Homo-oligomer: A and B are copies of this chain.
Amino acid sequence: MTELRQGPIGDRWVIVAPMRGRRPSDLVTVGKESTELSSDDCPFCPGNEDKTPPEIYRVSNPDGSWQVRVVPNKFPALSDDYRGLEQADAGGFYQRMNGLGTHEVIIENPDHEKGIPDLPLKSVETLIDTFAVRLQKLKQDDRYRYILLFENHGKAAGASLSHPHAQIIGIPIVPQAVMSELRQAHSYYEDKKNCLFCDLLKNELRSRERLIEETDEYVVFAPYASCFPFEITIMPKEHVHDFTEISQGQRREFAVILKRTLHRLKEVLNDPPYNLMMKSAPNVSEGSGNQDCFSAMQDSYHWRVEIVPRITVMAGLELATGLYVNPVPPEEAARYLKEAGN
């Protein structure tokens, strides 16, 4: 079983999820050749459905084959096999909780080689709809105070299997990094009576120097203080705090913009490893039981997708101070990415 821990220095929680029966040297995989699974052995390829835990959800074709599958993570960081939160301190000095949570894998399409930029638009739409279905479902469980959808693409971005897949994790706390964003957005709203994120969009649309693309519903840009080279944000123009609350039309346009943006990145950096993160407000929707302290903050939040290419390495400076070194000014990154679409 896993557990969540927090020490007295730094605000970070850690999921301690032991991989039983391994020797330390089994862990040393970084920098070694990855044992790339062929599609015969890949548990996410058609024909190998029995290699995953039992399916949670699927979108089927008329012939019965699948377009998208959702399965529990075989090695979950968190599990819902707990009756309650059972929070307890460890010796009066440390904080711990049972590793309550959920961890799902969304197999994006049957083709081992095809990611979002390569799929037909129709398939991307199906995938986005699946994201919405699963997120909506998990939001009904009030034990999950924060739900993150993310995609790790490539080994350097932490993907252990190369068959394109996304993950959803539901956790029993609102993590420090998210709380900090919420507090900033809330305090900005209190101060200026405007949404921080809406003002940021206005600012980017006015200056245009970091703009990659603008559509009716979305703005794609390289953030001013990008921590990573070629970092990209996709932000909706409409002020909505949660991805699951957007309209069907907005979802359709999101499929177009996500496919095109990932295509730009693939073209400019030759299919780089990346992390994609869909950030929505914490799960404090009506009926979730979590409404107490977060609902005011939730209103000042604004959902978005952040895409972070992993072509540089975080080193001692970044780990010790949180101060990142970015060798590519976002203005320059935006120019390359913008051109790539033409």
Residues of B within 8 A of A178 (CB): 320-321
For residue A341, CB closer than 8 A to chain B, the reply is no
Q: Are A148 and B321 in contact (CB under 8 A)?
A: yes
Per assembly, the copies of the chain total: 2
- Residue A207 is within 8 A (CB to CB) of chain B in the complex: yes
**0/1 string, A149-164, CB within 8 A of B gives 1:** 0111011111100000
Q: Are A319 and B277 in contact (CB under 8 A)?
A: yes
Q: Does A35 reach chain B (CB closer than 8 Å)?
A: no
Q: Is there an interface contact between B275 and A158, defined as CB atoms closer than 8 Å?
A: no
Q: Assess whether A223 is interfacial by the CB under 8 Å rule.
A: yes
Residues of B within 8 A of A148 (CB): 316-317, 320-321
By beta carbon, the residue of chain B nearest A327 is B19
Contact B177 A320, beta carbon cutoff 8 Å: yes
Q: Which of A90-113 contact B (CB under 8 A)?
A: 90-91, 93-94
Given contacts A12-B227, A314-B158, A322-B12, contact A203 B91 (CB under 8 A): yes
Instruction: Provide the bound-state CA to CA distance between A197 and B9, in Å.
Output: 8
Q: Would you call A24 and B328 a contact (CB within 8 A)?
A: yes
- Asked if B320 and A24 make an inter-chain contact with CB atoms under 8 angstroms apart, the answer reads no
Contacts of A325 in B (CB 8 A): 14-15, 17, 77
Is the CB of A6 closer than 8 A to any CB of chain B? Answer: yes
Per DSSP, chain A at the interface is mixed
B177 touching A321 by the CB < 8 A rule?
A: yes
The answer to the question of A146 belonging to the interface, with a C-beta cut-off of 8 Å to chain B, is yes
Q: CA–CA, A225 to B8, complex, Å?
A: 9
CB pair A77 B317 closer than 8 Å:
yes
Interface residue stretch chosen among A119-127, A130-138, A168-176, A288-296: A168-176
30 pairs of residues in contact across A and B, judged by CB atoms under 8 Å: A7-B224, A7-B225, A8-B184, A9-B184, A11-B322, A13-B225, A13-B322, A15-B323, A16-B326, A17-B326, A18-B327, A18-B328, A27-B311, A27-B327, A28-B270, A28-B311, A30-B272, A77-B317, A93-B200, A93-B203, A152-B315, A158-B316, A167-B317, A171-B323, A175-B322, A178-B320, A178-B321, A275-B316, A277-B319, A277-B320
